[in-house]
């Protein structure tokens, strides 16, 4: 019986700022649950930051440059966290079956326009 290992990108960095990974057999572990909670908190934080910074960048806001830079840094940090989460979750999605046949439930790609 062969054991399948699963590689999960964690939502925090390892030593020297390098990506941290968890290798498991696919079972739920304490570290995986901790990573799930950290991801949920990062997503919630990104939503709050987005809500707070939207008014700061409107034309009528008239904020000084240092406040706009602060908002941009917060947005970049939260976007980086959310993209890391997306990458991690995307790596855990099983690939499509590659039997060479298209199934009827897949949308067709439209033909290019020849106008």
Report the pLDDT value the prediction gives residue 15, as an integer from 0 to 100.
Answer: 87
Segments making up each domain of the chain, as ranges = 6-91
Report the pLDDT value the prediction gives residue 71, as an integer from 0 to 100.
Answer: 92
CB of 5 within 8 A of CB of 25?
yes
Please list the rounded mean pLDDT of every run of 10 residues in the chain (115 residues).
Answer: 74 90 86 93 95 89 91 94 92 75 52 52
pTM of the model: 0.71
Dist. CA 43–CA 46, nearest whole Å: 5
Report the pLDDT value the prediction gives residue 92, as an integer from 0 to 100.
Answer: 81
If you ran DSSP here, which 8-state letter would residue 66 be given?
H
């Amino acid at each position: 019986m062969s054991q399948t290992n699963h590689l999960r990108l964690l939502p925090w960095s390892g030593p020297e700022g390098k990506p941290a990974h968890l290798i498991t057999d696919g079972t739920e572990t304490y570290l995986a649950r901790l990573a799930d909670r950290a991801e949920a908190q990062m997503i919630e934080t990104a939503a709050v930051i987005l809500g707070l910074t939207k008014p700061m960048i409107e034309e009528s806001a008239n904020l000084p440059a240092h406040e706009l830079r602060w908002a941009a840094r917060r947005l970049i940090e939260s976007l980086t966290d959310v993209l890391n989460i997306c990458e991690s979750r995307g790596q855990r999605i099983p690939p499509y079956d590659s039997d060479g046949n298209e199934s009827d439930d897949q949308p067709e790609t439209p033909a290019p326009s020849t106008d």
